[in-house]
Chain A
Amino acid sequence: MIRLTDVEMQYPNGVQAIRGISMTIEDGEFVFMVGPSGSGKSTIIKLLTAEVEPTAGRIMINGFSVNNIAERQIPYMRRTVGVIFQDFRLIEKKSVYENLAFAMRAVGSPSKTIKNRIGYVLELVGLENKARRLPSELSGGEQQRVAIARALVNNPNTIIADEPTGNLDPGRSLEIMTLLEKINELGTTMVVVTHEKDLVNRFSKRVVALENGKIVGDSTGFGYFGGAKSEKA
């Protein structure tokens, strides 16, 4: 579970990126986060991965209190959250398989577990035949699938994606989003930042809208943008 309570965040240069946000994301939920550029979407993700600290308020993630977490606990908190970025962030000189193994070894998984788990995850994202390829030998959509596989490989409770389809054409974007929905249905909490309205409108999911560092809408259902809204209780 993720819970933000009256969270504020000011960057060292004085920019107030988050101005008092409270919300709860239950285990197993799928949440889109939308909003114009500069509204604070990426900042929330940085808060959720303990990359930045809130200047006020409280953040709980999967049982960890991010505000007063001991530094040595941060890695363990991060293991409960898989992160996906617009630009994939794969290691270019490692194969698909090695990229995933690298992420598993980094948290101390034994070799045998690594082998079994990578086989399963690659099948889930539909890349079981491309394990030996380098990222440069894959399409953008395939690279993002590798990034999704990497986010999944350590079996996190939650996946957070910042504009996961930002670099992809509409067809690929829909595929990726459908994959994320499938992973969510298998039990992983999913938080997806995007500004692709058409894409959001194709799914009947909870949509949290940000503007200028504040939540300006939180509703569930098709057609958040322009369509009929069903306000969440």
Chain B
Amino acid sequence: MKKHDFGYFFHEGLSNMFSHGFMSFAAVGITVACLLIMGTFTLVAVNADANLRELESENEIVAFVDESYSDAQARALQSRIEEIPNVASATFISKEEATEDFKDRYPDEPMFDDLDPEILRDRFAIHLDDLKLTGKTKEAVEQVDGIVKVNANEEVSNGFIALRNIATVVCVALIAILLIVSMFIISNTIKLTTFDRRDEIAIMRMVGATNGFIRWPFVYEGFLIGVFSAVIAFLLQWMLYGAVASGIDNSSTIQLVSVIPFSQMWIPVAAVFAGAGILIGIGGSLTAIRRFLQV
């Protein structure tokens, strides 16, 4: 063998695949299912993570200062708060600023127009490094003398954290199981072809074909099953994601969640599907032909 006869191996692999239409169909089906489940959970995890990051950057916890503190005393607390681990920054907001803010937020409510600043307290807007530690950081901030109350949006961030964690765990477990199942099915499909072709293999070996030459068509068969699966899974994933995303966008109750549009993710999704599909396909074919090819 001087060079790799791509056309020949490709053709042989393809005809192998169609010689067992049903088995190949089953192998493609299970691989598509594997990729879809993998893709769906990964996309959920990615979205949960993105929402979490958004919360992390936007959401702040608010620490209210004791009313008896003067403006200067209140501002002095800033360095104390910033010393607390996990606090990224603390921004002082005076009563007056808070009042303006409040009025701006409800411009249509004239009853707030002449709100007395003394009703509101001085406060710090605190950004955190890690939202997972919100609870602890909140407690630490509460310990600071002069801070009377801390508001944190714990429920929302905990929800996203849980979602992300569940999606990650389910994702890893399912991927592991499904990878093995699809590889097993592909491997059996290809074993069937090698069994069908045992006479041809014996003749190839007799006339002096190298192991590589004998193997390649089966590797291509696995590769093709993988590629077909990846393409189908990608299209299905696209449709599924689009449907779920528009469902969430149109729903008034899940306003809090923002969905990353598929157009921003299709390249990595396609790449991962293609990579995983090809890996499963070639892995399956290699396990199928490993044993039968002793000289």
Does the CB pair B209–A106 fall under 8 Å? yes
Smallest CB separation, A134 vs chain B (Å): 14
Cβ of A112 under 8 Å from chain B: no
Knowing A50-B295, A74-B295 are in contact, say whether A154-B200 is a contact too (CB < 8 A). Answer: no
Does the CB pair B1–A108 fall under 8 Å? yes
Candidates B2, B199, B214, B295; contact of A91 at CB < 8 Å: B199
Does the CB pair A154–B295 fall under 8 Å? no
Residues of A within 8 A of B72 (CB): none
Q: How far apart are the CA atoms of A178 and B198 in the complex, in Å?
A: 32
Knowing A150-B207, A154-B207 are in contact, say whether A89-B295 is a contact too (CB < 8 A). Answer: no
Does the CB pair A76–B202 fall under 8 Å? no
Residues of A within 8 A of B1 (CB): 107-108
Q: B185-238: which have CB < 8 Å to A?
A: 199-200, 202-211, 213-214
Q: How many residues of A contact B (CB 8 A)?
A: 22
Does the CB pair B5–A108 fall under 8 Å? yes
Q: How far apart are the CA atoms of A49 and B3 in the complex, in Å?
A: 25
Cβ of A3 under 8 Å from chain B: no
Does the CB pair B208–A91 fall under 8 Å? no
Candidates B8, B202, B209, B211; contact of A107 at CB < 8 Å: B209
Residues of B within 8 A of A78 (CB): 205-208
Knowing A74-B295, A108-B2 are in contact, say whether A103-B203 is a contact too (CB < 8 A). Answer: yes
Q: How far apart are the CA atoms of A89 and B209 in the complex, in Å?
A: 16
Smallest CB separation, B124 vs chain A (Å): 73
Smallest CB separation, A170 vs chain B (Å): 28
Q: How far apart are the CA atoms of A48 and B209 in the complex, in Å?
A: 17
Does the CB pair A76–B208 fall under 8 Å? yes
Residues of A within 8 A of B8 (CB): 105
Beta-carbon nearest neighbor of A76 in chain B: B208
Q: A21-53: which have CB < 8 Å to B?
A: 49-50
Knowing A89-B199, A89-B202, A91-B200 are in contact, say whether A106-B207 is a contact too (CB < 8 A). Answer: yes
Does the CB pair B2–A107 fall under 8 Å? no
Does the CB pair A79–B208 fall under 8 Å? yes
Knowing A79-B207, A89-B199, A154-B207 are in contact, say whether A106-B213 is a contact too (CB < 8 A). Answer: yes
Candidates B3, B202, B209; contact of A75 at CB < 8 Å: B209
Residues of B within 8 A of A103 (CB): 203, 207
Residues of B within 8 A of A76 (CB): 208
Q: Quick one: CB contact mask for A68-79 with B, threshold 8 Å, 1 for yes?
A: 000110111111
Smallest CB separation, B13 vs chain A (Å): 15
Cβ of A102 under 8 Å from chain B: yes
Smallest CB separation, A48 vs chain B (Å): 12
Q: How far apart are the CA atoms of A108 and B4 in the complex, in Å?
A: 9
Q: Quick one: CB contact mask for A213-229 with B, threshold 8 Å, 1 for yes?
A: 00000000000000000
Q: Quick one: CB contact mask for A187-216 with B, threshold 8 Å, 1 for yes?
A: 000000000000000000000000000000
Smallest CB separation, A96 vs chain B (Å): 14
Smallest CB separation, B199 vs chain A (Å): 6
Residues of B within 8 A of A4 (CB): none
Q: A49-108: which have CB < 8 Å to B?
A: 49-50, 71-72, 74-79, 82-83, 89, 91, 102-103, 105-108
Does the CB pair B200–A102 fall under 8 Å? yes
Residues of A within 8 A of B206 (CB): 49, 78, 83, 89
Does the CB pair B208–A107 fall under 8 Å? yes
Beta-carbon nearest neighbor of A154 in chain B: B207
Residues of B within 8 A of A49 (CB): 206
Q: How far apart are the CA atoms of A72 and B211 in the complex, in Å?
A: 8
Chosen A-B contacts, 15 in total, with CB atoms closer than 8 Å, are A71-B295, A74-B295, A75-B209, A76-B208, A78-B205, A78-B206, A79-B207, A79-B208, A102-B203, A106-B204, A106-B207, A106-B208, A106-B213, A107-B207, A107-B208
17 more A-B residue pairs beyond the given contacts A76-B208, A89-B202, with a C-beta to C-beta distance below 8 A: A72-B210, A75-B209, A78-B207, A78-B208, A79-B208, A89-B199, A89-B203, A91-B200, A105-B8, A106-B204, A106-B208, A106-B209, A106-B213, A106-B214, A107-B209, A108-B5, A150-B207
For the complex of A and B, the 4 pairs showing the least CB-CB separation, nearest first, are A79-B208, A78-B208, A106-B209, A108-B1
